[in-house]
Each structure stands twice: as C-alpha cells, then as structure tokens.
Amino acid sequence: MNVPRPHDLLWGMPVSGLPVDAPRWAQDVLLSGQPVVVRRATCADGWVAVGLRGQGRAQRSGVLMRLAAIQCQQGPETLRWQAESPWPALQALASVTPVLDASGMAWGPTGGVGYQIATGIEVVHADSDLDLLLRTPQPLARAQARELLDILDCAPCRIDLQLETPAGAVALREWAGFARRVLLKSAHGPRLVSDPWAAMERAA
C-alpha cells in the first residue's frame, strides 16, 4: 500500500477511532462503510490526518486515523467519468478528460465529484464545482498554466484545479495569474512563495 497522499480516499477507519465527543453523523459515516479523505497536515508516525464528509458543508470533521487500520486506498488519478449526467460538474469532467490525459501527467477529480465516483453516494448537485488535482513533479511554466486555464474555463461549470508539487499544492488559477508570489498549501500550513517547486529545497 502506498503512503497516503492528500485527497486519497481511505476505507477501514473504525468508529472507535473517533474522539469521544464526535457527532452522531460522523459515527454514521463510518458505520455505513464510507471512506475518509486524507488531509494536508503533519502527524505522528503511524497516523494520517483525515477528514470525514457528511451531508452538506456543515458536516465536516478532521480527525486522525491509524495507518494500520487502512483496508483500502484510492487516489484521485484512478477516478474517471464518461457517462451522461444532468450535472454540470460531471459533464465538465468528461469534457476535460482528453485534455488532461494528453498532458501525460497524473490527475483526477477530488471533492464531491471524486467522492461520488468512488462511493456511488450522490453528493453532486446542479451548483457543484469540479475540483481537480494535477500532479506536477516538474515545474509547470506559467504560460502553460494560462493555456490550460483557458481550456478549463470553457467547461460547463467552474473548475478549480490544484497543482500538486513536491512541496505542496498551488491553485492553477493563481499560478496562471501575474502575482509575483502565490499561496502554497503544505503540510506545515499555507505560505506565500515565488516558486512552488523550489519551496521544498528551501524548506530542507
């Protein structure tokens, strides 16, 4: 099993792993066999930071899960959707798939769309955005980022794509802009950087 990465879905967390004051909905999520989502945070060896997803944005909870409890793991890059759907977010995913596949980089849906494809639980609705992850181990030129954003902005709903660098994630929309520094989300918290790919070297 691979080391869990942000946005991976994990199955196997027991209800006993929740804090004693966990809300009832969080217990129901685990009792029904739903997965948790890996969060971007640091924790002790043998643990991974995860989030539980209930009904609506009000039902979100961050907890820790033992790595030993993981029974199944699924990354965003394994999730695809090509069927017809009334929802713009799923239509958008089908429309951008050829473009992102052609990039040669690993990518996949996260957020509600990724969760629905992985679990079959219908959480996507008419106003859902499409959240995507693109793994960029090598620097992506800002001009190239602007070209990609122009394509994504033609989709039937808003698409928010995160570039996953070795140091953390930066929004494609920000990297395609003209600000000298952009917000990098890392396990140690967010910070402004001029080069999201060099940030790891400086941190070391």
Q: What pLDDT shows up at residue 58?
A: 82
Residue 86 placed within a domain = yes
Please state the pTM of the whole predicted model: 0.91
Q: Is 129 an annotated catalytic residue? A: yes
Same domain membership, residue 170 and residue 130: yes
Run of H or E residues at 190: strand 189-193
Query: Pick from 44, 39, 159, 139: which is nearest to 99 by CA?
Result: 159
- Strand-pair category, 72-74 with 60-66: unpaired
Same domain, 121 and 156: yes
DSSP sequence for 129-168: -EEEEEE-SS---HHHHHHHHHHHTTSSS-EEEEEEETTE
Asked if the structure places residue 2 within a domain, the reply is: no
pLDDT at position 199: 63
pLDDT of residue 204: 41
pLDDT at 167: 93
How far is C-alpha 182 from the geometric centre of its chain's CA atoms? 19
CA 61 to chain centre: 16
What is residue 200's predicted lDDT score, i.e. its pLDDT? Answer: 58
Domain encompassing residue 50: 9-74
- Domain end marker among 26, 52, 74: 74
Same structural domain, 100 and 67: no
Q: Is 131 a catalytic residue?
A: yes
Catalytic residue among 8, 28, 45, 131: 131
The domain boundary, picked from 74, 89, 106, lies at 74
116 and 135 share one domain: yes
Do 97 and 198 sit in the same domain of this protein?
A: yes
Question: Is residue 136 a part of any domain in this protein?
Answer: yes
Give dist(CA 145, CA 147) in Å, integer.
Answer: 5
Give the chain's domain count. 2
The answer on 29 and 115 residing in a single domain is: no
Question: Which of 40, 74, 108 is the last residue in one of the domains?
Answer: 74
Q: Which residue numbers in the chain have pLDDT < 70?
A: 1, 199-204
Which of the following is catalytic: 129, 153, 160, 195? 129
